[in-house]
Amino acid sequence: MAPPLVPRKERLVDDLLPVPLLSLGSHQAINYQPGNQRMVSDHQHRAGLSFLYGEASIHGKRNGERIRHLAGGELQLIARHAQAEQALRKQLEQLGFRPALRQSLALPKDSGEMFQLPGEEAWLRFVQQQLPELQRQGWQIDIHPGFAYDLTTIDSWYAAVDESADDEWFDLDLGIVVGGQRIGILPVLLRLIRQNPQLLTPRALAQRSDDEQLRVQLERSSQRDGQPLQVLLPFARIKPILATLGELYMQEPMDGPSLRLSKADGARLAGLESLSPHWHGGERLRRFAGRLHSPSIQACPAPAMLNATLRPYQLQGLAWMQTLRELDAGGILGDDMGLGKTLQSLAHILVEKQAGRLDRPALVVMPTSLIPNWQDEARRFAPQLRVLTLTGTSRQKHFGELAKHDLLLTSYALLTRDIAVLCEQPLHVLILDEAQHIKNPSSKAAQAARALQTRQRLCLTGTPLENHLGELWSLYHFLMPGWLGDAKRFTQDYRNPIEKHGDDARLSHLRARIRPFLLRRTKEQVATELPAKNEFVHWVELNDAQRELYETLRLAMDRKVRDEIERKGLARSQMVILEALLKLRQVCCDLRLLKGESTRATRGSSSGKLDSLLEMLDELMSEGRRVLLFSQFTSMLTLIEQALHKRGIAYVKLTGETDDRRTPVERFQAGEVPLFLISLKAGGTGLNLTAADTVIHYDPWWNPAAENQATDRAYRIGQDKPVFVYRLITRGTVEERIRQLQSRKAELAAGVLEGSGDAGWQLGEQDIDALFAPLP
């Protein structure tokens, strides 16, 4: 039979105080919501409170006043201290904990009384600030595997740049140091952005306090239980990273811990400089990035060969183009008209020549109407450049000499015709002036421009975007293919969200992506650097119909004038000379000013000058300029009116036939219309039009005093803005010859063309030869 039971020895233990044991755990539950008929994820976090009395533990309030605990052969009756336990519960409640009302699998049932906190912010505050204090007070902590707030302390941060041997790309690695080991955080953050783009928009990031922290799970496991490491990333540090990566969330996944980027992507590094004091490598890229992002880009000295003094903003533009070259990147110089985009570009080319890098020619492609302006400015400001202009049928004989020149000039129309030759010539710099001409990426001009071989590509345009974002994509597809993705991806990621849905986040990302490669200064931004009056000659080419008629008239008028002078002498031939010059000047303005030429005009454009004017007005209107347009031919103003109607440009007009002079003046001064058409006789004097900031002289007035009087309608007392004055002059015609004559003999020129000046003026044989010389 079994031995009799021997009563165990019992002992009362009442000198043990409870030691709190806090268990922490999490569980992700998937619940069905009948309301929206969806399965939703429910993250549950619990804290389980139990008490240790020596080796014994109790779980909850219902264990009685004593604990029966067998220790060896002794049965201990451990007295509980209810007040002490309640004080510990109270301490938890003071930290924000409340009894959990719902069951959860976050912790085993024997983990004690279940508590919970109201949200992630409270849990983070508890784990970071309050939990360490509890441990110092003697609380025992049991963190279960998978606890969402099991955080690892970050020792430090690092950033590393590894440039490739071929200098075409670089690897960017940003991360933290934990336990002496580097851990890259870019893959984690990029995945987070892709999964939650709406939470990390620029607006959402701006609303985040720098004191907030982001909890992320790293792929590396902890040494304790094999669970992934979790860390808190301060928003003060990661905001720049998230802003930088935001525009990349649509790209392909990363292959490793680092992010491979093109050299042009080095512009992003400026936004990350504050991330870590410990940068490794990439000093040159980071320096370039800083220069691109600087509010006032550090100016570089103007080339010694430049025959001009650059203003501070122009020196900054030069430095910007030089920085782009060092980054092997392209860019858009989008300054307002009149701020010197051509001059800055010439300075850039001269720097390259001065440094010995211009071992290939630079090529500038532009509308035909701008070729005379480039020729003139290159001759004036950069005479040491060997310039070859590819125009006319004679250009083909120079195709074998392209490499011997520093600067090649051609038009968009001829680029497409000559592309087979030009694409075989390696270039150093390729510049597209009025680059909106390639806004259609499928156009022949755009395709030809992209086919050219060059080290650097630049665009000059004051209107990089006229109608839709696809035009901007076309420019960047030329500058840096792939920078904004292909056309389909760009439409998906930017055009549709921005244009159709008003997505500010996508717009901000697009701006951030192009900002380093777009430099635009308005006249208001640089007003303090500009003189009060800025004067320019805008050279224009006659079109084919104008050239044909000009030469026909010139030959006839030359013969008529010389016959008249031979019969009557120079002094008595004034009326014949004036009539001859008037006809030639009308041809320069528009063929329709001459009687009987309307039929000829219908065969094509009636005026290269009018075409050029309309291009100017489009750009000036887009910049918000207020323009006075003067012509001494009222019939020319009528023709301009017709073109303005077709373009939908609002205007007012003042001629000698205007009865109500006050209304157009008041409407223009009040800002109701941006353009004022004025005839010489009606508005050359007596008007105060200080609302204007731009003056255009469509046809030159050969008396400088009269021309200045017209300009002074805008440039006068009360004007608080710099005034830009443009004189439209047709290249190689009587307009250019009289302009040259005016500079030598202003009074003589006024007398010839306007019947003013000293009665004793005389034209010599050389003057007649110059005025009626053939077109070049």
Contact (CB, 8 A) for 227 and 144: no
> Are 404 and 491 within one domain?
yes
SS (H, E, C) 533-599: EEEEEEEECCCHHHHHHHHHHHHHHHHHHHHHHHHHCCHHHHHHHHHHHHHHHHHHHCHHHCCCCHH
The CA distance from 689 to 628, in Å, is 9
Question: Rounded to whole angstroms, what are the CA distances from 752 to 31, 327, 698, 742?
Answer: 95, 56, 20, 10
Among 143, 178, 207, the domain-final residue is: 143
Instruction: Kindly state whether residue 683 falls inside one of the protein's structural domains.
Output: yes
Residue located via tokens 């934990």: 178
Instruction: Kindly state whether residue 136 falls inside one of the protein's structural domains.
Output: yes
CB-CB neighbours of 28 under 10 Å: 12
Contact (CB, 8 A) for 145 and 227: yes
Contact (CB, 8 A) for 81 and 88: no
> Are 102 and 231 within one domain?
no
The CA distance from 659 to 188, in Å, is 74
> Are 215 and 311 within one domain?
no
Q: Which of 312, 313, 305 is nearest to 346 (CA)?
A: 305
Range 611-616 average pLDDT: 92
- CATH classification of the domain holding 335: 3.40.50.10810
Q: What is the pLDDT of residues 106-141, one digit of tens each?
A: 899 888 899 999 988 899 889 888 999 999 999 999
Q: If you average pLDDT over every residue of the chain, what do you get?
A: 81
Task: Check pLDDT > 60 for residue 582.
Answer: yes
Contact (CB, 8 A) for 338 and 388: no
175 or 648, which is more confident: 648
Residue located via tokens 């800025």: 534
Beta-strand relationship, 675-679 and 627-631? parallel
Query: What is the pLDDT at residue 405?
Result: 96
The CA distance from 718 to 528, in Å, is 17
Report the percent of the chain where pLDDT is more than 70.
80
Contact (CB, 8 A) for 191 and 214: no
Instruction: Kindly state whether residue 206 falls inside one of the protein's structural domains.
Output: yes
> Are 177 and 283 within one domain?
yes
Residue located via tokens 């006024």: 750
The SS3 call for residue 212 is coil
Contact (CB, 8 A) for 16 and 54: yes
Instruction: Kindly state whether residue 563 falls inside one of the protein's structural domains.
Output: no
Contact (CB, 8 A) for 518 and 462: no
738 or 361, which is more confident: 361
- Confidence band (pLDDT; 50, 70, 90) for 760? very low
- Confidence band (pLDDT; 50, 70, 90) for 250? very low
Beta-strand relationship, 454-460 and 427-433? parallel
Contact (CB, 8 A) for 281 and 160: yes
542 or 744, which is more confident: 542
Query: What is the pLDDT at residue 4?
Result: 54
Q: Which of 196, 173, 171, 194 is nearest to 185 (CA)?
A: 173
Residue type, 558: D
Task: Check pLDDT > 90 for residue 272.
Answer: no
Q: Which of 470, 462, 463, 478 is nearest to 499 (CA)?
A: 470
Range 663-667 average pLDDT: 88
SS (H, E, C) 650-715: CCEEECCCCCCCHHHHHHHHCCCCCEEEEEHHHHCCCCCCCCCCEEEECCCCCCHHHHHHHHCCCC
Q: Which of 89, 91, 92, 63 is nearest to 77 (CA)?
A: 63
- CATH classification of the domain holding 685: 3.40.50.300
Instruction: Kindly state whether residue 515 falls inside one of the protein's structural domains.
Output: yes
> Are 177 and 325 within one domain?
no
Task: Check pLDDT > 60 for residue 585.
Answer: yes
**DSSP-assigned letter for residue 494:** I
Among 143, 166, 191, the domain-final residue is: 143
Tokens of 359: 């071992």
Residue 60: which region, alpha, beta or left (left: phi > 0; alpha: psi -120 to 50)? left
Range 618-647 average pLDDT: 91
483 or 548, which is more confident: 548
Q: What is the pLDDT of residues 709-739, one digit of tens each?
A: 666 666 554 556 788 889 999 989 999 887 7
The CA distance from 248 to 241, in Å, is 11
Q: Which of 558, 583, 609 is nearest to 731 (CA)?
A: 609
Task: Check pLDDT > 50 for residue 275.
Answer: yes
- CA dihedral sign of residues 339, 620, 432, 362: negative
Q: For the chain, how big is the Rg over CA atoms in Å? A: 40
> Are 508 and 628 within one domain?
no
> Are 52 and 183 within one domain?
no
Total number of domains constituting the chain:
4
Report the percent of the chain where pLDDT is more than 90.
32
Query: What is the pLDDT at residue 599?
Result: 46
Lowest mean pLDDT among 19-33, 128-142, 299-313, 676-690: 676-690
Instruction: Kindly state whether residue 595 falls inside one of the protein's structural domains.
Output: no
Contact (CB, 8 A) for 571 and 748: no
Query: What is the pLDDT at residue 202?
Result: 65
Q: Which of 272, 316, 310, 311 is nearest to 292 (CA)?
A: 316
Residue located via tokens 């023709």: 639
Contact (CB, 8 A) for 49 and 22: yes
Query: What is the pLDDT at residue 596?
Result: 60
> Are 609 and 701 within one domain?
yes
Task: Check pLDDT > 90 for residue 687.
Answer: no
Range 305-332 average pLDDT: 90
Range 585-603 average pLDDT: 73
> Are 328 and 267 within one domain?
no
Instruction: Kindly state whether residue 560 falls inside one of the protein's structural domains.
Output: no
- Confidence band (pLDDT; 50, 70, 90) for 195? confident
User: In sequence order, which residues have a C-beta less than 8 Å from that of residue 96 and are 6 or more positions away?
Assistant: 117, 118, 122, 126
Secondary element (H or E) of residue 725:
strand 723-730
Task: Check pLDDT > 80 for residue 258.
Answer: no
Q: Which of 731, 265, 760, 706 is nearest to 480 (CA)?
A: 265
Query: What is the pLDDT at residue 581?
Result: 87
> Are 249 and 358 within one domain?
no
Q: Which of 211, 252, 25, 217 is nearest to 121 (CA)?
A: 211
> Are 216 and 324 within one domain?
no
Beta-strand relationship, 113-116 and 38-53? antiparallel
Q: Which of 219, 248, 237 is nearest to 276 (CA)?
A: 237
Lowest mean pLDDT among 310-324, 412-426, 610-624, 746-760: 746-760
Contact (CB, 8 A) for 510 and 470: no
Q: Which of 535, 533, 534, 537 is nearest to 739 (CA)?
A: 537
- Is residue 403 exposed (0-12), middle (13-18) or buried (19+ Cβ within 10 Å)? exposed
Contact (CB, 8 A) for 65 and 145: no
- Beta-bridge partners for 730: 540
Q: What is the pLDDT of residues 17-43, one digit of tens each?
A: 899 999 999 988 777 666 666 777 778
Residue type, 529: E
Q: Which of 122, 121, 144, 150 is nearest to 21 (CA)?
A: 144
- The DSSP code sequence of 342-392 is HHHHHHHHHHHHHTT---S-EEEEE-GGGHHHHHHHHHHH-TTS-EEE--S
> Are 139 and 174 within one domain?
no
The CA distance from 774 to 776, in Å, is 6
Secondary element (H or E) of residue 136:
helix 131-136
Contact (CB, 8 A) for 550 and 732: no
Instruction: Kindly state whether residue 694 falls inside one of the protein's structural domains.
Output: yes
Among 292, 324, 343, the domain-final residue is: 292
* Helix, strand, coil abundance in the chain, percent, nearest 5: 45, 20, 35
**Residue 115 belongs to domain spanning:** 9-143
The CA distance from 669 to 690, in Å, is 7
Lowest mean pLDDT among 614-623, 629-638, 674-683: 674-683
Q: What is the pLDDT of residues 449-500, one digit of tens each?
A: 999 999 999 999 887 776 778 888 999 999 988 778 888 888 888 888 887 8
